Amino acid sequence: MEPLVDILIEEPRWEEIDLPALADRAARAVLADQEISPDDWEISLLGCDDARIAVLNAEFRAKPTPTNVLSWPAEDLAAEDEGERPDPPEPFLPGERDSLGDIAIAFETCAREAAEGGKTMADHVTHLIVHGVLHLLGYDHVREGDATLMESTEVRILEKMGIDDPYLA
What DSSP letter does each residue of 44-76 carry, written as one string? EEEEE-HHHHHHHHHHHHS--S--SEEEEESS-
Looking at the domain assignment, is residue 84 inside a domain? yes
pLDDT tens digits along 101-134 = 999 999 999 999 999 999 999 999 999 999 999 9
Q: Is 127 annotated as a binding residue?
A: no
Full domain range(s) for residue 83: 5-160
Number of structural domains in the chain? 1
pTM for the model: 0.96
What's 142's domain CATH number?
3.40.390.30
Q: Is 141 annotated as a binding residue?
A: yes
| Residue 131, annotated as binding a ligand | yes
33-50 per-position pLDDT tens digit: 999 999 999 999 999 999
Q: Is the pLDDT of residue 3 over 90?
A: no
Q: Answer yes or no: is 167 within a domain.
A: no
Cα separation, 102 vs 72, in Å, equals 5
List, for residues 94-107, the tens digit of each pLDDT value.
778 899 999 999 99
